Amino acid sequence: MRRLDAGQRSAEELRKITGNEFITATTLDLADLASVSAFTRAWNGPLHILVNNAGVMALPELQRSALGCEMQFASNFLGHFLLVVELREALASAGGARVVSVSSTGHLFSPVVFDDLHYRFRPYDPWTAYGQSKTADVLLSVEVTARWADDGIVSNALNPGAISTGLQKHTGGLRTPEEFQKSVEQGASTSVLLAASPLVEGIGGRYFENNNEADVVTERSENLGRAGGVANYAIDGENARRLWREAISLTAAE
């Protein structure tokens, strides 16, 4: 995490609540691939559960990472991609690992636009940029499962729902109708299901919301409270393979 002091305070609180003295926090900036690689080099031992939860949303102006990538794509997807790839050995050694990627109904705003990932031709739009980054997170789970299931590694993606957090700092706060909002605990429930429940043992390459596998949809609802489902482009195997190749090229991962 970028704010190590805040992470350490949270870790201390969790140690007190749970009695687990092994809960720690360390530095990780997903927008900085050097930071990601430093984190993975320091990792020791098997890794049973990896939850890709960090993200930024609707940056009002076009920003680029050190590699020149659009920042939402860089932070929400590329950093997680490199993290997963460089931790593959640790995941495989767990003898049954799960990778969970937090996506969003925002993925319904845009597929991954392979011919212009970084807005070098398209006018920048905060929401389509966010949307393609969240579609990429779903495709990551599809391809991790396709490539690594034989190693005991499966991955699923999810929509946590509308939760009031710092994620909305660029949008003036959460705008979803109150009756469709969730608490932090409710929002975390699908992540916990995919990370730990025996109900999804061995299941991968899918997208969940409200603790159930989502329906495939062919268009996005304009109703902010009822928008849901997973777009067919977000679970398409060919899209997942193409994105993997693009990400390998961008990150120089092996």
The long-range contacts involving 56-60, CB below 8 angstroms and separated by at least 24 positions, are: 56/167, 57/106, 57/130, 57/167, 57/168, 57/170, 57/171, 58/126, 58/127, 58/130, 58/170, 58/171, 59/126, 59/129, 59/170, 60/126, 60/170
Look up 233 and say whether it is catalytic: no
CA distances to 22, 49, 199 from 188, in Å: 21, 15, 17
**Which member of 119, 130, 207, 233 is catalytic?**
130
Cβ partners under 8 Å of residue 223, min gap 6: none
Q: Could you give the CA distance from residue 87 to residue 75 in angstroms, rounded to a whole number?
A: 17
Question: Per-residue DSSP letters for 150-167?
Answer: GGTEEEEEEE--EE-SGG
Determine contact, residues 253/85, Cβ cutoff 8 Å: yes
**Catalytic residue set:** 130
